[in-house]
Amino acid sequence: MLRVYRVDPINPSPEAIRIASDYIKRGDLVAFPTETVYGLGADTFNANACLKVFKAKGRPPDNPLIVHVSSIDELGKVAIDIPDIVWQIVNRAWPGPLTLILPRSPDVPKEATGGRNTVAVRSPAHPVALMLIKYSGTPIAAPSANKSGRPSPTLAEHIIEDYKNDNIDMILLDAGSTFFGVESTIVDVTRNPPVLLRPGPFTLEELRSLFGMDIVVPEFARGLGEADAALAPGMKYRHYAPRTRLLIVECGDYDMLVKTIHDTTVDYLNKGMRVALLITKETAELLSTRYTEISELPIILLGYRGNPYTIATNLFDSLRNLDRVNVDIGIAEGIEERGIGLAIMNRLRKASGFSIIKC
């Protein structure tokens, strides 16, 4: 049974967290909020509990989990051969949305790391997550709590939607909306120079200044093309995907972008297809003043173009909403790949299965 406990995101009451930590200790699953997205957690050192995460999500066994620690000291329990620079970096960046790939401690079962000799570790900046790890007395291995292939959960309702028909014993700590809305930045620090495996709220600009060196950004980290499975095991799977077809429009020039969204929409409407638009507030206003004929269409507001953090927070809910409006295709507005925009474009491009119109 899925048991839901509401907790305050900032001052969680100890009772619910204690019940949830008992689940972790006995090898069961807890869905919990982090500052990025909700995770589906198990005791890192319990191989069977980790296997339950894969089973519940329908996750391929070679796609490793992220180990969540409540303090910097705990890093030494799950990773080995940690260079001085990494200690300096975690001292400055944790708790926060930065996941580092490091050599795995033999104490971490291979089941947690998809058979790899490396482990992904981060310390989440969310009071509920930190308290849960502390009360459980063990680092918690957790991927995003969505069913494999679905958009990551940024609200407890998304988890209920994904698991309501399952017969699984788990606790869901409902603390409302997560803060950033896109998953953590992942950097492989076993490579020199370090490689960005997934852009996230900890931006590339911030990473470069934190590391004091260049960071390699492979094409797949921009959401363009498939990843090399040896480097980034999880990135080869279709991710964040709504069930409805999705198309992204990307332009350097904003006027051209608005016009192309309009023209593309009209093309699909003329083919007899039902279209929904995933666009920013600014673009919705422009479209409705310039082109009255498409103001009738379902519009899913992504947030403000002028404040891409609002887009990040809404992104996965918008992708889920696309499946609720009952159309044949969603046409989404691309944004600039700066700051958190890189993470947003990575998720959007992958969600579209790389269906991109450039202008």
Contact residues: ligand TXA, CB under 6 A: 34, 36-37, 39, 63-64, 66, 97, 99, 101, 113, 116, 118-120, 124, 142-144, 183-184, 186, 197, 232-235
* Among Mg ion, ligand TXA, none, partner that 36 touches (CB below 5 to 8 angstroms by kind): ligand TXA
Nearest to 243 by CA among 143, 147, 356, 341: 147
Question: Would you say 30 and 4 are in contact if contact means Cβ atoms under 8 Å apart?
Answer: no
The reply on whether position 99 binds Mg ion by CB under 5 A is: no
Q: Which residues pair with 358 in a beta bridge?
A: 250
Q: How far is the CB of 104 from ligand TXA (least distance, A)?
A: 7
Which residue has the CB atom at the shortest distance from ligand TXA? Answer: 234
Residue 39 contact, options ligand TXA, Mg ion, none, Cβ 5-8 Å cut-off depending on partner type: ligand TXA
Residue number, 189 or 248, with CB nearest to ligand TXA: 189
- Of the pair 135, 220, the CB lying nearest ligand TXA is at 220
Nearer to Mg ion, 58 or 252 (CB): 58
Beta carbon of residue 282, minimum distance to ligand TXA (angstroms, whole number): 28
- For residues 121-160, which are near Mg ion according to CB under 5 A? 143-144
Q: Measured from the CB atom, is 60 or 252 closer to ligand TXA?
A: 60
| CA pair distance 259, 290, nearest whole angstrom | 9
- Measured from the CB atom, the residue of 52 and 259 that comes closer to Mg ion is 52
In the complex, what is the shortest distance from the CB of residue 242 to ligand TXA, in angstroms, rounded to a whole number?
A: 17
User: Is the bond into 95 cis (omega within 30 degrees of 0)?
Assistant: yes
Tokens representing 139?
């680092």
Q: How far is the CB of 240 from ligand TXA (least distance, A)?
A: 10
CA 287, CA 295: separation in Å to the nearest integer? 7
Residue 124 or 334: which CB sits closer to ligand TXA?
124
Residue 223 CB, nearest approach to ligand TXA (Å):
13
Q: Nearer Cβ to Mg ion, position 17 or 342?
A: 342
Token representation of residue 266: 């009209």
- Cβ 132 to Mg ion, closest distance in Å? 19
How far apart CA 44 and CA 110 sit, in angstroms, is: 10
Of 98 and 299, nearer to ligand TXA (C-beta) is 98
- The CA distance from 98 to 12, in Å, is 23
Please count the other Cβ atoms lying within 10 Å of the Cβ belonging to residue 248. Answer: 21
- Rounded Cα gap, residues 130 and 32, in angstroms: 10
With vertex at residue 160, the alpha carbon angle to CA 159 and CA 165, rounded to the nearest 5 degrees, is 115
- The binder of 63, among ligand TXA, Mg ion, none, by C-beta within 5 to 8 A per type, is ligand TXA
Burial class, 311, CB count within 10 angstroms (exposed 0-12 / middle 13-18 / buried 19+): buried
Cα distances (angstroms) measured from residue 299 to each of 255, 322, 333: 19, 9, 12
Q: Which does 299 bind (CB under 5 to 8 A by kind): ligand TXA, Mg ion, none?
A: none
How far apart (Å, rounded) are the C-alpha atoms in residues 24 and 356?
42
101 binds, among Mg ion, ligand TXA, none (CB under 5 to 8 A by kind): ligand TXA
Return d(Cα 314, Cα 152) in angstroms, integer: 11
Asked whether the beta carbons of 7 and 28 are under 8 A apart, the reply is: no
Out of Mg ion, ligand TXA, none, which partner does residue 207 contact, by CB within 5 to 8 A per kind?
Answer: none
Whole-number minimum distance, CB 91 to ligand TXA, in Å? Answer: 20
Out of Mg ion, ligand TXA, none, what residue 258 binds, judged by CB under 5 to 8 A for its kind, is none
With CB under 5 to 8 Å by kind, the binding choice for 112 among Mg ion, ligand TXA, none is: none
Tell which residue, 102, 166, 112, 165, has the closest CA to residue 139. Answer: 112
Dihedral of the CA atoms 216, 221, 224, 227 (nearest 10)? 90
- CB-wise, 149 or 298, nearer to ligand TXA? 149
Binding stretches for Mg ion (CB under 5 A): 143-144
